[in-house]
Every structure is written in C-alpha cells, then in structure tokens.
Structure 1
C-alpha cells in the first residue's frame, strides 16, 4: 500500500470520526425519531448521499457532478431536518429558506461553470485514484454536515425562542453575505465571458476591494446563521458553533484561498500589473481600492 493510499484511508476515517463526534454533540436537545436524534440522522444522510454519488463518478472518472451533489446534499439534509422536526418556529423556517436559497443558487452556478469550462482542474490527479477520490467525496459529506451544524441546531432543537433582536441581526448579516457572494460571482462570470478578457485577471467591481470577495460573502452568510443560533444553543449543542469556524478555516487555510492564490501566482506572478493588484488589494476582507 502506497503512502498516498494510507493517507487517503486515514483521511476517510478522520472525516467520519469528526462527523460522529459532532453528531453526538448536536444530538443533545435534538428532536428524535424513535430513539435516534434528527440531528444525527441528518449527519448520516450527508455522508450517505456523497458515498452513493461517488460510485458512478468513480466509474466514469468524472468530477462534473461533485459540486452539484454538494448542493443536493445541503438541500436534502435541510429538508429532512425540517420534515422530521415538529412545530417549526419563525427562526427555523427562516433558516431553512436561507439554506435552500443559497444551495440552489450556488449549486446552479457551479454546475454551469463546470459544464462551460469542461473540467475542474482540482480533480485531475484525484479522480484517477479511487481511494483519494473517495476521501474527497467523504470530506464533502463532512463539509456539508459541519457547515450546516448551526442551521440544524436551530431546526432540530427542542428549545424554541421568539424571533428577537439577535435573530434579526443574524438575518441581516446573512443577507449582506449572500448579496456579496452573488454579486462577486456574477461579476467574475461576466468578466470571463468577455473574449477581450481572455487570459486576464479581474480587478474590477468587488474584486477591486478584495481578491476573494465571494469567499468573504460565504463566510459572512454562515456567520449570520451562527448568530441566529445563539439564543437556542445549550449544553453540548454549543459545539455546533464549529460551523462558521470550519468555513473560515476551509476557505482561508485549506482548499479555497490558498489553492487559488497559488494558481494565480503561477499564472501571473511575473506580471507587474498583477503584482500591483496583489499589493494594493486585501486577500479577503474588502476595503475601498487604494490608488
């Protein structure tokens, strides 16, 4: 067994163990079906959907449906949580709608991008190795479950609170983050579709304020969901606040910004205009463009 295969197996095991631990914590105060908590059922479903989708993807050696499967997982898990949780209050309904709107929008956007570009370069070396490819799908199950943790705590929890000031603040934060993410994605798509911009990098719109405004929007909207969850968290369910922390770490330290920064440096690192853009533009948190 190669080192890469051992690493993949360890990654799969760790992804499952972390999911189980979060499921146990989130089950504290969760509604149940029989003797099983709805929160834990949602976590199991997140993994199951991705493992099932892995089978045909591995046979065809394709990543075309990876992002789409992620969105489907978000939608299915959220709907399951709502369906199995009685007496949904205003907070639960609003959070459910938030997740569904975000997942539908992002999933459609990413699927269209893959269809347009033909392939996702991130998977070139991964999809030819079954164990490594399986680890990637397993990590997506964990990604969905951890990201949804605060939302699931709200929807599946037995504690209900009035839709007060904290929930309003969280909703506003989510709306701001969602608007930024949508605007940034649309601006970049329009830029890339213009033949005059072939081989160039975007420096206009929100991309003049941040090198990754879409990720800033993503982090902000999940922070909004976490804020909404604060009044209904208790006991071990406080562990679900791992949601915004996980999103920040994932996008700023693991698969988001670091990967894209390396690609950009490799492609345009010797370009003086690119060097000036990097020097004057923050990597994540937007600020007005400097001259």
Structure 2
C-alpha cells in the first residue's frame, strides 16, 4: 500500500481512538487521560503502518522501537497520574473555555491526534523505504540514547519523589544534574532516531518536520515552558537550579558565581 494510504488509515485509526477516549474522559470528568494515551497512540500507528506494508524486517525494527517507547511512556504516565488529581493544565483549559467547554476539550484532543499523525510520519514512511547500513545503525543508536535518558530520568525522579527525606527539595541528581529535563531530551532523541531510520530516500528529508515539531513542543511548547511556568515560586531552590543547569541539552553544571545564583 502507498505511503499516502498508510497515512490516511493511520489518521482514521487515531481519530476513532481519540474520539473513544474523549467519550471515556467525559464520563470520568477527567481530561488529562490523553497524556496516558500519547505514547501508546504512536505504538498503534506503528502497528497499523506495519500491517499495511510488505512487513520487511527493517520496518519491523522501527515498529518494535516505537512500541517499546510508547508502551513504556504510557505506563509511566498512567502509574504516575492514577492516584493524583487531574493535571492542572487541563483543569485550567476547561475553566477558561467559553461557550461549550466540552467541545473545546474535544478540539484539544483532536489537535493532539493530528500532532500524533504528523510526528509519526517517519515511522509510517520507514515501512516502505527504511534507511540501511550506517544510517540505520545511527538511527538505532540515537533512539537508544534517547530511550535511556527518558527511562532513567523518569526512574530517578520517581525514586526521588518517593523518598520522604527529599520532600520539598529540588531534584538535581543523576541525569537531572546535567539537564533540567532529561526525559524531554530523551523523548526528542527518540524521534530524531526514528527519523534517521526512515531516511531510505531523499524524499524522507521532508519528514524532518516530525522530529522538529516534537522537539519544539518539548523544549518551547507544551513541555518545558508550561512545567516551569511558576515552579520557581513554588519550589525553594529552583531558581539556583535553573542558574546552574541546562534547560534541555545535557551539559556540565555551570559554576555558581556572582550574579549566577550564588555568592
């Protein structure tokens, strides 16, 4: 099946699943459920694309990498959120919505579904024209770096929060010593790796929009900026952490000195 038809069927699948999830979210009166679906949604798209392809082994590798990333992320977010109140971002969106708040939230869901189809284009394209040789190996390596950063960063933060002795403190250990968001950096690397795996022809270069969009969302959009919007005021010591720690790309901590969060 052609790439165009694969994208169409992927979009239809995402639309159906997003709509069903939204109906469930309305019944539960909790709209942050879309966050738990984000990773698994990409896994579903990958499986659909593979089912519509000739099922060659390079495409299978791309599917496996996408599914492993997506399922882990979905389970992590679900486990983190299931005993908490609804994410304040969604509460605020609902409260700010005028006219029909439910319809507004449905548009939010549809937007995330559209972004999912866009970002997953390399995964779909790789089913027909995957990279090979050194480029394929490089894509797997970049994916692996990203997956390790994301999974290890999430695990380190979870242990930190579970320790009563660190309550109220700023997490600045492990990978969090080098970047304030190792999970977001890792997420971006995963998608740059999947993009490289799709570069089996010059046409694939147009798909660079996918990792660019994902990186922008994480670093400048709904990821890092929203998370850090008011955390400096809520968390003592976070301003000093910002002053010495890279916001996204891992770097050695900056030395504290006059005018940089220290004496």
Q: TM-score range by the shorter chain?
A: 0.7 to 0.9
Q: CA RMSD in A?
A: 1.9
Deviations 1:151-202 (A, max 9, x none): 11111x2x466x3110001110110110011110001011111122222221
Q: Pick closer, same or farther for the CA change 1:197–1:252 going to 2, 3 Å.
A: same
Q: Pick closer, same or farther for the CA change 1:185–1:160 going to 2, 3 Å.
A: closer
Deviations 1:55-97 (A, max 9, x none): 22123311353223223322222111111112x2232111100
2:244 aligned with 1:280, yes or no? yes
Quote the residue 1:31 is aligned against: 2
Which is bigger in relative contact order (C-alpha 8 A, separation at least 6)? 1
2:102 aligned with 1:130, yes or no? yes
C-alpha contact 2:130 2:197 (8 A) present in aligned 1: no
C-alpha contact 1:154 1:232 (8 A) present in aligned 2: no
> 1:45-56 to 2 correspondence within 5 Å?
45-56=13-24
How far did residue 44 of structure 1 move?
Answer: 2.3
Number of aligned positions between the proteins:
250
Deviation beyond 6 Å, 4+ runs, structure 1: none
C-alpha contact 1:149 1:242 (8 A) present in aligned 2: no
Select which of 77, 90, 94 maps to 2:61.
94
How far did residue 224 of structure 1 move?
Answer: 0.8
| CA distance in structure 2 between the aligned counterparts of 1:38 and 1:280, rounded to whole angstroms | 46
C-alpha contact 1:184 1:206 (8 A) present in aligned 2: yes
Q: Pick closer, same or farther for the CA change 1:89–1:233 going to 2, 3 Å.
A: farther
Quote the residue 1:144 is aligned against: 116
Structure 1: gaps of 5 or more residues: 1-29
Quote the residue 2:260 is aligned against: none
TM-score by length of 1: 0.80
- Secondary structure (helix, strand or coil) at the match of 1:116 reads coil
Structure 2: gaps of 5 or more residues: 96-100, 256-263
| CA distance in structure 1 between the aligned counterparts of 2:208 and 2:24, rounded to whole angstroms | 34
How far did residue 238 of structure 1 move?
Answer: 4.1
TM-score by length of 2: 0.88
